[in-house]
Structures are given as structure tokens and as C-alpha cells.
């Protein structure tokens, strides 16, 4: 199993550009989520999904869109990038036992918006 994979690892954007961060998992997990990590702020939840076709907002959803068309993939879209979105982004998936189960994290995407 590859676990949770994310692409790209690094990305530099100009203000106003759009892009999609890719996330895939091969563990057949229903629950997937996106976090951003900023120095001194810990990880903050952006969006999450409890299954294909079902998504919901987390703590910091503004400026980000998600969709979930398959169990495996959960892409995160930045429609018009802003410098405030410079961060490290982590995708995670959670096993089938719900809240007691472990969340598995991808290696992260480091995004810089100029």
C-alpha cells in the first residue's frame, strides 16, 4: 500500500493563479480531510469528506474548494491564490472505525504564493 499520496511536493504560484493539490489514498477509507500547517498555529482543518459525494467545511474553508467523486481521491482547489495561502498542506484519511481510528497523513505540499 502506498498509503496517502500528495502531489506536487512543492509549488510556487503568483497571486491570482489557480491550482489543484492532489490527494489519493489506497486504503479504501471513507473519511478524508485537508489541513494547513502554519508556524505556531498547529494544523487547521480546511475541508473534509465522509464519503464520495459528501464534503463539509472545516475551520478555515475560505478560498478553497473540494469535491469527492471517488473514494480514492480528494483534490483541493485554490481558485485565486493569495499570499495568505502560503502554507504546508496535508491530506489525511481515516480508517473505518470512525473517531477511534487513526488518521494517516500524506507527506505534504509546500505552497508559496508570491
Partner 1 sequence: AQSVTQLGSHVSVSEGALVLLRCNYSSSVPPYLFWYVQYPNQGLQLLLKYTSAATLVKGINGFEAEFKKSETSFHLTKPSAHMSDAAEYFCAVTANSGYSTLTFGKGTMLLVSP
Q: Does 48 bind partner 1 (CB under 8 A)?
A: yes
Q: Does 90 bind partner 1 (CB under 8 A)?
A: yes
- When binding is defined by CB under 8 A, the residue of 11, 19, 27, 45 that contacts partner 1 is 45
Q: Does 98 bind partner 1 (CB under 8 A)?
A: yes
Total residues at interface with partner 1 (CB under 8 A): 24
- When binding is defined by CB under 8 A, the residue of 19, 50, 63, 67 that contacts partner 1 is 50
3-state secondary structure of 113: strand
Q: Does 108 bind partner 1 (CB under 8 A)?
A: yes
Spell out a b/e string for 14-44, using b for 16 or more CB atoms within 10 Å of the CB, else e: eeeeebebbbbbeeebbbbbbbbeeeeeebe
Within 10 Å of residue 99's Cβ, how many Cβ atoms?
6
Amino acid at each position: 500500500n502506498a498509503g496517502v499520496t500528495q502531489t506536487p511536493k512543492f509549488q510556487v504560484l503568483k497571486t491570482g493563479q489557480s491550482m489543484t493539490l492532489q490527494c489519493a489514498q489506497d486504503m479504501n477509507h471513507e473519511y478524508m480531510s485537508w489541513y494547513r500547517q502554519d508556524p505556531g498555529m498547529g494544523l487547521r482543518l480546511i475541508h473534509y469528506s465522509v464519503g464520495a459525494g459528501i464534503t463539509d467545511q472545516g475551520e478555515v474553508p475560505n478560498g478553497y474548494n473540494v469535491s469527492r467523486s471517488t473514494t480514492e481521491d480528494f483534490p483541493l482547489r485554490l481558485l485565486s491564490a493569495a499570499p495568505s495561502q502560503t502554507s504546508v498542506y496535508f491530506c489525511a484519511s481515516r480508517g473505518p472505525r470512525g473517531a477511534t481510528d487513526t488518521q494517516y497523513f500524506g507527506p505534504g505540499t509546500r505552497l508559496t504564493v508570491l
